[in-house]
Amino acid sequence: MSSINNSFFVMVSILSLLAFPSNAQLSPFFYARTCPNLQTIVHSTMKQAIATEPRLGASILRLFFHDCFVQGCDASILLDDTATFTGEKNALPNINSVRGFEVIDNIKNNVEAACNATVSCADILALAARDGVVLLGGPSWIVPLGRRDSRTANQSAANSEIPSPFSNLPILISAFAAKGLTPRDLTALSGAHTIGKAQCQFFRTRIYNETNIDPNFAATRRANCPITGGDSNLAPLDPVTPTGFDNEYYANLLNQRGLLHSDQELFNGGSQDVLVSTYAEGTITFFTDFAIAMVKMGNISPLTGTNGEIRRNCRVVN
């Protein structure tokens, strides 16, 4: 897997920085002088976390996705609720679901020890998401940096703008288009479901009521997801290689083994069928497209310059 990564990392880097230029104020060299060891610190902390619990790679990746889809990649998802502040953690797509906050806290503490009040939580999350993918065998890419942290959060937007696991393909395409992402980006980014787990409440309807599903796969999933109860019971999004970042997710879709309704919508007689088949054939095209799409997603409405702040604690505004 590492040889594949190395063979096209330079190509992905060039494409991600040139074909899809980042916000003019973001740069991969933003902290070159002010925090030169930043990426080493993030990588080493993520490596320790994933060695303890491989699922955290998926958890951090999901955190980044849910952050960027709500008022841009500004670390708003990391803010805790207080008596006077309503964050996004208790929005319906996030409550009792998003996780990995302690890992970001640990990274932030380690970064602060080396470069006090310099690096944003938003940039730490962007780097951690990339490193989690790499550590689980996926592609790497250059992360443009220079985001600042929001002083606000938007629970209402989190409820309405984060795509639902129950959405059909037209709704998914529309939700991604609203963020400047194409249907190809949608299908590539959905490949993040090659790692991680989902709760029974999000796939119960699919395994009991839908017909475009492999009967044996459905039966296996029903064993741990009863018709009533067990809402938080977990199942791997990719049962073949649940902690390996590869293209098995797409092979599962070809065999009608997508766990979520929104997964199988990508291969259900619609516009993305051909692309799903291409991704299922090998990792090169998928890895390249995923890396490019991650850079594009990371460029959604960043706060830069004097906007926002550099939080000292990722959970609270300064």
> Known binding site for Ca(2+): residues?
67, 70, 72, 74, 76, 88, 194, 238, 241, 246
- CA dist 63 and 94 (Å) reads 9
> Residue 206 is encoded by which pair of tokens?
């699919």
Q: Binding site: what residues are annotated?
A: 67, 70, 72, 74, 76, 88, 163, 193-194, 238, 241, 246
Q: Interhelix angle for 56-68 vs 121-135, to 10°?
A: 140
Question: Is residue 167 within 8 Å of 262, Cβ to Cβ?
Answer: yes
Binding residues for substrate: 163
Query: What is the identity of the amino acid at 72?
Result: G
Nearest to 72, CA basis, from 26, 111, 36 = 26
Please give the Cα distance from 60 to 103 (Å, whole number): 8
Nearest to 70 by CA among 102, 99, 97, 92: 92
The one-letter amino acid at 40: T
Residue 136 token pair: 């689980």
CB 57 within 8 A of CB 242: no
66 is catalytic: yes
Q: Which of 55, 62, 66, 296 is catalytic?
A: 66
Burial class (CB in 10 A: 0-12, 13-18, 19+), 202: buried
Distance of alpha carbon 144 from alpha carbon 140, whole angstroms: 13
Instruction: Give residue 24's identity as a one-letter amino acid code.
Output: A
DSSP helix/strand/coil, 235: strand
Alpha helix positions (H), 85-203: 101-114, 121-135, 155-161, 169-177, 183-189
Residue type, 17: L
- Please give the annotated binding residues for heme b, written as ranges: 193
Q: Active-site residue numbers?
A: 66
